[in-house]
Amino acid sequence: MTMLDQRHEEKLSAAAGVPDALAEWVAAIAAHTRPDRVVWWTGTPAEVSTLQDELVAEGKLIRLNPELRPESFLARSTPDDVARVESRTFICSESPADAGPTNNWREPAGMRAELSARFAGCMRGRTLYVVPFSMGPVGGPLSRVGVQLTDSGYAVLSMEIMTRTGAAVIAEIAGGADWVRAIHSVGAPLLPGDEDVAWPCNPDKYIVQFPETREIWSFGSGYGGNALLAKKCFALRIASVQGRDEGWLAEHMLLMRLISPEGRAFHIAGAFPSACGKTNLAMLRPDLPGWRVETLGDDIAWLRPGADGRLWAINPEAGFFGVAPGTSAKTNRAAIEMLASHTIFTNVALTAEGDVWWEGLTDTPPAGLTDWRGNAWDADAGTPAAHPNARFTVAAERCPTAAEDIGEAVPVDAILFGGRRADTVPLVTEARGWEHGVYLGATIASETTAAAEGATGVVRRDPFAMLPFCGYHVADHWAHWLSIGRGLDAELAPRMYRVNWFRRDTERGFLWPGFTENARVLAWIAGRIAGEAEANETAIGAVPLASDIAAEGVSAERLSQLLTVDPVEWRYEVEREAEFFGGVGGRLPVELSAQLAEARIRIARAFG
């Protein structure tokens, strides 16, 4: 029996009794939104297949050529619904101070009234699906559960991949488990005589979190980050508040196991903004002889201090919702194998043979492509065939590098903080300790990508890669990290590192080859943890000896540039960090004020 079959067997054998509170909530939402029918989702293979067939018949999914891409589908969104809508994402805490300067705050009662008007009758002509889901294995000690109500079949199929769904979750709720209420509608009611469209949505969008009551309301968008409410909305925005209140962390982090030639396992978490290579790193297949990587998660990690003084983590998701463009056999061989079947693709190009394609998949695009908008693609027109934020949704157990214990808790040995920086930031820097590591995480800056609306390539501060995802005041988040560190055994706490695969030369070419060569940086980090690797101390932290990370094709001059701490750039960088800290008001932890002062002193001493 496969891991997927085991999941479905667990669902079928679980208790099916629906507790009164859940049934009453569903009935109240249905009475307000007025769907034609209500379906309680169980996630059996037959149910999945039936919904797939329905969506294909309705033109909402395109079934790919089963000989080339078995059990796989393509969805095409509207051009105005292709990414997370940060400008329409709200944290409705009781106090605006709790939302902080990095969130859009709205007064809860006023927002509820606004949402009530939007949701009134919004599901007419559609089906309301009730999707009970678990983040983490059902009943697991670090797991949490919720229920999403949605009128999007695409969202249901994606939630089935990304979470554990079905009757076993209802049994958890019936047994007294706290649960998050999540309501989603595409905001496109069908009145008698209306013709449906392939991607229903509404130009007026709301992605709303109520932290105190653990509620999520999403209106108008069908796109993943806005519609799959278990993901960013629950697993980060709501869970970060749960973690603050309960003494753990919900973070935008990959989770991986690095195994040395001697068989020693190192567990690494890594915070990177969206579309900055988390999936590629999590599925790394090192070219270094004897080194292996096992994938534990590519996007979200929940971290809790253990009784043993270590920091433990799980990946609460059951699937991958990754960026397709740039994914290839060169950049991520494991992902290409993983996507060979049982995948939902969104906004990629369609080949004449009924397969998918995106920029970077092959050097030369195939002839006869249909672009992500459904039009014949003209290679000379200057527009991409696949949207830059085109996605794939696939079950984690289909990944050839997936760990057998994926979903279970592991002790964290190292935490990486990274982003896209063309200059200034060295390839890798080791923090001097936990407080300095929190400083590195709080001051992450990265060039924006197509994963969110707005201009790309703009450098912005993205602390802990949580700028769009932290459900409470960002400075309180840093204070929470500091508090977590004080509860760990100093000898067993994870070491922290800032990494940057994206530094460029004067011709704008990348100095570091990245991808599989990133294993050299990971091997150095493992050596530091094991007490076997040396480092050069600099004003901003320890960096490797060039000989420890030397890669084929990377000259000594380029290695020197990759590890250089430039005095002019770093004086400017620290002042930009100070400006950013100044924007959080009087809630900046004193430890980070001290780290900023120390950074200025160290740079002044080192460079005069």
Q: Which own/partner pairs from 237-240 qualify as long-range (CB within 8 Å, at least 24 positions apart)?
A: 237/91, 237/209, 237/211, 237/469, 237/470, 237/471, 238/180, 238/209, 238/211, 238/214, 238/471, 239/135, 239/144, 239/302, 239/316, 239/471, 240/466, 240/469, 240/470, 240/471, 240/472, 240/477
DSSP code at position 141: T
- Per the annotation, where are the binding residues? 84, 223-225, 232, 252, 274-280, 299, 389-391, 420, 515-518
- Per the annotation, where are the binding residues for substrate? 84, 223-225, 274, 389-391
- pLDDT tens readout for residues 345-360: 999 999 999 999 999 9
pLDDT at position 234 over 80: yes
User: What integer pLDDT is reported at residue 451 of this predicted model?
Assistant: 56
pLDDT at position 12 over 50: no
What is the helix (H) or strand (E) element at residue 363, kind and residue range? none
Residues above pLDDT 70, as percent of the chain: 96
pLDDT band at 454 (very low <50, low <70, confident <90, very high): low
- pLDDT tens readout for residues 520-568: 999 999 999 999 999 999 999 999 999 999 998 899 999 999 999 999 9
Domains 3-64+84-247 and 250-319+404-607 share a fold: no
Angstrom distances, CA of residue 276 to CA of 308, 309, 323, 451, 461: 33, 31, 10, 10, 14
At 70, list the tokens.
Answer: 């078995």
- CATH code of 3-64+84-247, in short, is 3.40.449.10
Give the DSSP letter string of 266-308: EEEEEE--TTSSHHHHHT----STT-EEEEEESS-EEEEE-TT
CA nearest neighbour of 240 among 93, 415, 438: 93
As a whole number, mean pLDDT of residues 412-440 equals: 97
More confidently predicted of 585 and 598: 598
User: What integer pLDDT is reported at residue 110 of this predicted model?
Assistant: 98
Tell me how far apart the alpha carbons of residues 301 and 254 are, in angstroms, rounded to a whole number.
7
> CB of 428 within 8 A of CB of 359?
no
- Per the annotation, where are the binding residues for Mn(2+)? 232, 252, 299
As a whole number, mean pLDDT of residues 489-501 equals: 97
User: What integer pLDDT is reported at residue 507 of this predicted model?
Assistant: 86
Tell me how far apart the alpha carbons of residues 103 and 604 are, in angstroms, rounded to a whole number.
35
Residues classed as catalytic: 276
User: What integer pLDDT is reported at residue 181 of this predicted model?
Assistant: 98
Tell me how far apart the alpha carbons of residues 276 and 331 are, in angstroms, rounded to a whole number.
12
Q: What is the pTM of this model?
A: 0.94
CA angle 305, 429, 523 (to 5 degrees): 75
pLDDT at position 7 over 50: no
Domain locations in the chain as residue ranges: 3-64+84-247, 250-319+404-607
pLDDT band at 432 (very low <50, low <70, confident <90, very high): very high
pLDDT band at 1 (very low <50, low <70, confident <90, very high): very low
Q: What SS3 class is residue 237?
A: helix
DSSP code at position 509: -
- pLDDT tens readout for residues 157-212: 999 999 999 999 999 999 999 999 999 999 999 999 999 999 999 999 999 999 99
More confidently predicted of 448 and 155: 155
pLDDT at position 133 over 80: yes
- pLDDT tens readout for residues 14-47: 335 899 999 999 999 999 999 999 999 999 999 9
pLDDT at position 604 over 60: yes
- Per the prediction, the chain carries an average pLDDT of 94
Angle at which helices 239-246 and 474-486 cross, to 10°: 40
Instruction: Kindly report the CATH class assigned to 250-319+404-607.
Output: alpha beta
pLDDT band at 585 (very low <50, low <70, confident <90, very high): confident
- Per the annotation, where are the binding residues for GTP? 275-280, 391, 420, 515-518
Q: Which of 83-87, 397-401, 598-602 has the lowest mean pLDDT?
A: 83-87
User: Residue for token digits 């906004």?
Assistant: 347
Longest dimension (CA), the chain: 76
